[in-house]
Amino acid sequence: MSIYTATAAVPGAAARTGTRTTRVIGVLALVTTAFVVVSAFFLTPADSVQGDSVRIMYAHVPTAWVAYLAFITTAVASGFSLARRHRTLGFDRVAGASGEVGVLFMAMTLLTGSLWGRLTWGTFWQWDPRLTTTLFLFITYVGYLAVRRIDTDPRQRARRSAVIALLAVLEIPLVHFSVVLWRSLHQEASVLSPDGDVRLDDLMLFTLFAGVAAFTLIFAWLVIHRQRLTALADIRQTVGLDAAIALRRSETSGVVK
Amino acid sequence: MDLSPREVPDAPRAQRRWLPIAFAVFAGVAGLAIIGVFLTSSIDYFCNVDEVGVREGCNDDERVRVQGSVDEGSLQLQAGTTSFVMSFNGASLPVVYDGEPGGVFQECIPVVAHGRVVNGTLMATRIEVKHSNEYEAENADRIEESESAACS
């Protein structure tokens, strides 16, 4: 049963956006996140140069990667939305939900990176290529969300925002390779480095990947719930409009009589 | 007068659909080419020590950001002033900074110093640590290894 028929048939069920799948994802996200917290603070060693400040990495890097994943998801869903715009707005809702979560994670990346920078570089912020392109990416997607908030026909909204999403995703390679293309205060990648070497101790690397898994699960949970919530809001708007038209028609017919 | 509806000829659908996409792709590629090829020296965050006064944008009579490793044994902290020698690719540059650098500043670590070169000395107004992309467990032996590698 689709969310539309469920809403129409059982009004009380309309408030629910969770299913067995989302509950499983939620539990897995909680367990993985708990492991990452314990491992990051108590199991992994301090770094030989940075000391305990390296523990910020277990939040900073995963949030950045998952923000990339979110923006790529937005672009893919936008592509499907453009290709099938006459059939459904479902892809558009997934694109919007993923964009919102991506902006949230990108903000966390900037925040944790700023704190980490203060502890290691000695400054919260500098206009170096990596930091600047990352901020540019963040602002672009804030703009994308702003376009989605323009009060217009949902299909027109979907079309406009899809075009922006397909262009904005091209910034991701620029951000990722900014430390290779230009000289940057930000260090080069430790895991996805150009030469393929991984420059982390084993437990550090394992905890980092656990962090990526945890944040990916949180991302999936949030996007599923958010796009269902958007669908419900669209239904409420449609039902409300239909009811208003019906009421107006009944009033008009009453006057005529 | 003929008021019957007229048929408006449709523009070719394929052309309408692909033209903006082709334009966007061209603009994207052109933009990346401009940024990646022509603006490289402008976007680079720093000059290396051996490029001061040599490379375009690294003039020694202007404010510069210079990157190099802090020489072992050169670091001195006196009366709130930090002085050290930074080196890169065989070239060295003395640095004087009015204050104590933050972050994980220490000898044998790459730093970026902002300032002007006056009589062969960089009078720095800001020091930033440029740490590497290697993460290793805190271990006395490894610290010695990394220090010797960085300063050799």
Number of domains in chain A: 1
Radius of gyration (C-alpha) of chain B in whole angstroms: 27
B-chain CB neighbours of A193 within 8 Å are: 133
B-chain CB neighbours of A208 within 8 Å are: none
For A193, the closest of B67, B133, B138 (CB atoms) is B133
Report CA-CA distances (Å) from B17 to A82, A89, B110. Answer: 11, 20, 52
A237 within domain boundaries: no
**Complex confidence, ipTM:** 0.76
A209 within domain boundaries: yes
A246 within domain boundaries: no
Q: Is A93 left (phi over 0), alpha (psi -120 to 50) or beta?
A: alpha
Contact in structure between B71 and B86 (CB atoms under 8 Å): yes
Tens digit of each residue's pLDDT (9 = 90 or more) over A48-98: 889 999 999 999 999 999 999 999 999 999 999 988 766 668 899 999 999
Average pLDDT of the residues in A182-203: 81
Which tokens in the block code for residue A13?
A: 């069920």
**Start-to-end Cα distance in chain A:** 42
* pLDDT for residue A255 is more than 60: no
Tens digit of each residue's pLDDT (9 = 90 or more) over B58-107: 887 889 999 999 999 999 999 899 999 999 999 999 999 999 998 999 99
CATH number at residue A192: 1.20.120
- Alpha-carbon span A10 to A232, nearest angstrom: 13
Which tokens in the block code for residue B114?
A: 């902002």
B-chain CB neighbours of A187 within 8 Å are: 130-133
Q: Does B38 touch chain A (CB under 8 A)?
A: no
A194 within domain boundaries: yes
Phi, psi of A193 (to 5 degrees): -80, 155
Which tokens in the block code for residue A58?
A: 């277990």
Helices (H), ranges, chain A: 3-9, 20-38, 57-83, 90-120, 129-148, 154-168, 171-176, 178-181, 202-256
> Which structural domain, as residue segments, surrounds residue A223?
20-45+55-228
Which of A145, A148, A126 is CA-nearest to residue A135? Answer: A126
Which tokens in the block code for residue A141?
A: 């997607």
Least confident of A76-85, A132-141, A218-227, B98-107: A76-85
More reliable by pLDDT, A48 or A113 = A113
A242 within domain boundaries: no
Helix, strand and coil content of chain B, in percent to the nearest 5, comes to 30, 30, 40
